[in-house]
Amino acid sequence: MRKYKVKTKKQQKNLIWIWSGLLLILLILIVFSPYIFPDSNTINYELQLQKPSFQHWFGTDEFGRDLFSRVFNGMRTSLMYSLIIEAIALTIGLAIGLLSGYLGGKVDGFFNYIMNVFQAFPTTIAAIALIAVLGTGDLTLIIVLSVMGWVAYARIVRSETLIFKERDFVLGARAAGGSSAYILGKHIFPNVLLPVLPLATLMIGHGIMAIASLSFLGFGVQPPNAEIGLMLKDSATFISRAPWLLVGPGIVLAMVVALINALGDAIRDKMDPQKQMMEI
Amino acid sequence: MKKGVRALALLVIVAVLVTGFTGCTGAKAKDKASATEQTLVVGAAKDFKNGSEPKTLIFDSLTDSLEDMSSGPRLVTEWEKNADFTEYTLKLKEGVTFSNGEKFNAQVAKFNIEYWPVYRDCGYIKKLKSIEVIDDKNLKVSFNESYGNFIDELSKIWVTLPNAVDAKGNITDWTGTGPYVLKDYQADMSATLIRNETYWRTDKMPGITKIDYKVITDENSRVMAVKSGDVDVIGLTEHYTVMPFADVPDLQANKDLQVSICEDYGTITTYSLNWAKGVCMDQNVRKAIALGIDRDMLCSTVLYGVAEPTSRFVLPTYKFSQQEEGLKYDLTKAKAALEASGYKDGDGDGYVEKDGQKLSLKMVVSDTQVNRSVGVFLQDALKKIGIAVDLQVFDATTTKTMLKAGDFDLSTSHPWTGTVVSYLYWRGNLNTYDDYGIGYGVNDEMNTLTETVSVTGDDKVREEAFNKIWDIQNDFVAGVPLYFSQRIFVAQSNIEGLKFCPNTAEVDLSEVVIK
């Protein structure tokens, strides 16, 4: 016999508060890092490759730069870019998903074909190919990851639009003479937005990882700017001599992405009544 | 039950011990076996057929580069020249065969002398009049005008069979007269070579009977491979430093490894300044850059005391090298040079401007740990004299594309090499962009001096010409020499006899043995 435990509203709320609280602390450090740690790019060779200490919690790199401050400055770059990327991808995904789902027919077929094509390419490899054409740079990085990221949103928005466009309140609005733009904007858009939000939260973590991966491969942020992937790449040479170069950035990257994902999951649970029943 | 548990525990302990001891014995046996086999596993940065060095294991050059940078006999054993260097008579080594049994003779030598110079930057082809085959072992080479550098340039001709090349300078059949025979080749992956048992240089017959050439493109992975014992040696098949300098102290401290650093031959890492376009057209800006870099600090910090600072273009060990150091670090002079060109920090942001334009350089470097670190160092150093640097790190292919298009102000470059005469024909007198930035052919006088160097066979005349060349280069500042980037071999401690050749693009395994 299967047993189910109902997650109470209070439990859900607590979970969201815990993840949000932890994330908030990190976010404060990340967002305000240029003000908290203004000297993260300052070179001081006398402090070259210092072990972690009270002065330098994560140690220093080969230029004597404090790793703790660089990690948070680097996370700020990644987070900021990831937010921009997801905002662009979400906008494109919403527009295409709404049009595709609402208009149906040939328009839907066309967009479905496009989405299939985009999903056929592994994101990182496609991003590298695009960067090879467009050239390296922060702007290129944002464009490339946005272009590769909209499909996930479009799929969900399309399927939700297909459901909502057959609902009574939409049929009623149409019968009352509401235009397609009015129905899409007033009735369907607010309803499809909610299921997309948890995905958007998860995709922020995904975006941070993608930026770090591309920077690690040499296609992302340029030195001397701090960025987690770039820092991890530089640490490869010092892996036996100065392992702390790897540890600090690695831990913070993992924590931030894990917390963003946990928050995304918690929001999804909160917003999806069907998920409130969890199998033991 | 208890007895059963005890028995099981005992069994596990015995199994672990037996497995452990078997493993130990196995490893020793393997070591011993590999020593008897004399198989050298080489970790290489490039595909076997793409590098300059690996081909020297398969092919022989016509003449040899000796330690004093003069030319010695090899496939060409003797030569005579007339007084004005317009005629040379070459005598070839008798009894030499390619590894497939075909003979090396005057016809083969004639083909190689005519075919290869275009692809090996040999200047003699421009003045070559005719090659007459006197007999099987003698050739007479005639030039339209004097050409004194001919014999030296023959050391760059690696002899192939006439039907073993295509129309674009590619070798299609890797059959040579050299010490090894290519047995197996996987593009970008590996190659297997076995000893040429009929090698004609009996005094140079290598002890290593088989070479496993493994391509490991990532610099950190190469270092890990030699540390873990996956390969016997790294750095052997490249004429430049192929590992991060940061790793060298660690590798030197590793008792299982031996690190050999070449002090006599090699190149000086030199950054190219785009003197034909952009802000670096201004000679004072170029001078300020050269004066604004503290090379001692660079070497002691991000190069970990391994590389040696210098402002020369070529090592003094090479013939015709410059006698004096070039522009040394001087912050005051660097700032003065910028001021002389009208650059001043008007808005107090730490960067100088002229006509409202901030002095900003686009620095393009290929993606290696050393290049990234040196790039950040230079960025910081030039900031101190008010120059902003936009550092752009690309993969090797993109870097080459950008440099060839002249899309840079400051970049990594191909340095002057020994012999300097050879480099002069390649990039020393080039005034356009190539894969390595822009050449050093900065004015018409460089043309005249190049001509002087090629025509004369008199070393004194060449030396005088080169002194003028170095004066031009030091004054014009077409490039910024930074440090002597030594060749470094890292090998397992049981390998003996590795040595550096005067020709940095040659691999000589004649004395190598695995103990």
Indicate whether B462 belongs to any domain.
yes
Domain that holds residue B303: 265-486
Residues from chain A that touch B372, judged by Cβ atoms under 8 A, are: 223, 234
| Pair B274, B154 in one domain | no
What pLDDT does B443 receive? 94
| Pair B311, B456 in one domain | yes
Predicted TM-score of the model (pTM): 0.83
Indicate whether B233 belongs to any domain.
no
Q: Residue for token digits 């590795």? A: B498
What pLDDT does B21 receive? 38
Number of structural domains, chain B?
2
What pLDDT does B28 receive? 35
What pLDDT does B57 receive? 94
Nearest to B378 by CA among A63, A233, A60, A235: A63
Q: B24 pLDDT exceeds 50?
A: no
Q: Over chain B, what is the mean pLDDT?
A: 89
| Chain B residue with the nearest C-alpha to that of A64 | B301
Q: B211 pLDDT exceeds 80?
A: yes
Determine the residue among A237, A238, A246 to mutate to test chain B binding: the one whose Cβ has the most chain B Cβ atoms within 10 Å.
A237
What pLDDT does A194 receive? 82
Euclidean distance between CA atoms B471 and B364, whole angstroms:
27
Asked if the Cβ–Cβ distance from B220 to A240 is below 8 Å, we say no
- B245 contacts chain A (CB < 8 A): no
- B256 contacts chain A (CB < 8 A): no
| Pair B434, B321 in one domain | yes
Any long-range contacts for B457-466 (C-beta under 8 Å, 24+ apart)?
B457/B81, B457/B85, B457/B146, B457/B148, B457/B149, B458/B148, B459/B319, B462/B148, B462/B320, B462/B421, B463/B320, B466/B320, B466/B321, B466/B322, B466/B420
- A45 contacts chain B (CB < 8 A): yes
What pLDDT does A2 receive? 55
Min Cα separation B391/chain A (Å): 7
Q: B68 pLDDT exceeds 90?
A: no
Task: Give the residue-averaged pLDDT of B77-85.
Answer: 93
Euclidean distance between CA atoms B334 and B36, whole angstroms:
60
Task: Give the residue-averaged pLDDT of B366-380.
Answer: 93
Min Cα separation A233/chain B (Å): 9
What pLDDT does B484 receive? 92
Whether B192 contacts B142, CB under 8 Å: no
Using the 3D structure, point to which of B116, B132, B164 is the last residue of a domain: B164
Q: B319 pLDDT exceeds 60?
A: yes
Nearest to A61 by CA among A241, A209, A196: A241
Interface ipTM > 0.85: no
Euclidean distance between CA atoms A196 and B314, whole angstroms:
63
Determine the residue among B373, B390, B401, B402 to mutate to test chain A binding: the one whose Cβ has the most chain A Cβ atoms within 10 Å.
B373
Whether B302 contacts A63, CB under 8 Å: yes
What pLDDT does B134 receive? 96
- The share of chain B scoring above pLDDT 90, in percent, equals 69
- Name all domains of chain A by residue range, CATH numbers in brackets: 4-42+67-279 (1.10.3720.10)
Residue B36 parent element (H or E): helix B2-37
Q: Nearest Cβ partner of B220 from A136, A224, A237? A: A237
Q: B35 pLDDT exceeds 60?
A: no
Sorting pLDDT into bands at 50, 70 and 90, what band is B434? very high
Indicate whether B227 belongs to any domain.
no
| Pair B160, B269 in one domain | no
Asked if the Cβ–Cβ distance from A237 to B367 is below 8 Å, we say no
What pLDDT does B454 receive? 81
Strands B410-412 and B433-434: unpaired
Distances from the Cα of B504 to the Cαs of B204, B215, B239, in angstroms?
18, 20, 5
Indicate whether B44 belongs to any domain.
no
Asked if the Cβ–Cβ distance from B220 to A239 is below 8 Å, we say yes
Q: Nearest Cβ partner of A224 from B247, B379, B398? A: B379
N- to C-terminal Cα distance for chain B?
A: 53
Q: B33 pLDDT exceeds 70?
A: no
What pLDDT does B71 receive? 85
SS3 call for A58 = coil
- Within B144-256, strands assigned E span 180-186, 190-195, 210-215, 233-234
For residue B504, how far is the Cα from the chain centroid? 6
Using the 3D structure, point to which of B113, B136, B164 is the last residue of a domain: B164
| Pair B326, B464 in one domain | yes
For residue B161, how far is the Cα from the chain centroid? 26
Q: Residue for token digits 């709404």? A: A98
Task: Give the residue-averaged pLDDT of B474-494.
Answer: 94
| Pair B150, B287 in one domain | no
Task: Give the residue-averaged pLDDT of B194-209.
Answer: 93
Indicate whether B140 belongs to any domain.
yes
Indicate whether B222 belongs to any domain.
no
pLDDT digits (tens, 9 = 90+) for B269-304: 999 999 999 999 999 999 999 999 999 999 999 999
- A223 contacts chain B (CB < 8 A): yes
| Pair B338, B479 in one domain | yes
Q: Where are the alpha helices (DSSP H) in chain A?
A: 9-31, 33-36, 67-103, 105-120, 123-134, 138-164, 168-175, 180-182, 189-216, 228-235, 244-271
Indicate whether B238 belongs to any domain.
no
Query: CA geometry: angle at B383 spanning A31 and B415, to 5°?
Result: 115
Using the 3D structure, point to which of B110, B131, B164 is the last residue of a domain: B164
Whether B403 contacts B433, CB under 8 Å: yes
Nearest to A43 by CA among B383, B109, B3, B50: B383
- A63 contacts chain B (CB < 8 A): yes
Indicate whether B362 belongs to any domain.
yes
| Chain A residue with the nearest C-alpha to that of B376 | A224
Q: B331 pLDDT exceeds 90?
A: yes
What pLDDT does A176 receive? 86
Residues from chain B that touch A136, judged by Cβ atoms under 8 A, are: 392-394, 398
pLDDT, tens digit only, all 280 positions of chain A: 555 565 667 777 777 788 788 888 888 888 888 888 877 888 999 999 999 999 999 999 999 999 999 999 999 999 999 999 999 999 999 999 999 999 988 999 999 999 998 888 887 788 888 887 777 778 888 988 998 889 999 999 999 999 998 888 888 988 888 888 899 888 898 888 888 888 888 899 989 999 998 888 888 888 888 899 999 998 988 988 899 999 999 999 998 888 888 888 877 777 765 655 554 4
What CATH number is attached to the domain comprising B454?
3.10.105.10
Which amino acid belongs to residue A45? Answer: Y
What CATH number is attached to the domain comprising B85?
3.90.76.10
Sorting pLDDT into bands at 50, 70 and 90, what band is B424? confident
pLDDT digits (tens, 9 = 90+) for A50-71: 999 999 999 999 999 999 999 9
What pLDDT does A60 receive? 95
CA within 13 Å, CB half, B100: 12
Whether B246 contacts B273, CB under 8 Å: no
What pLDDT does B22 receive? 35
Min Cα separation B309/chain A (Å): 17
Nearest to B482 by CA among B269, B286, B328, B245: B269
- B107 contacts chain A (CB < 8 A): no
Which amino acid belongs to residue A36? Answer: I
pLDDT digits (tens, 9 = 90+) for B453-465: 888 878 899 899 9
Task: Give the residue-averaged pLDDT of B114-133.
Answer: 92
C-alpha dihedral sign at B307, B309, B310, B315: negative
Sorting pLDDT into bands at 50, 70 and 90, what band is B30? very low
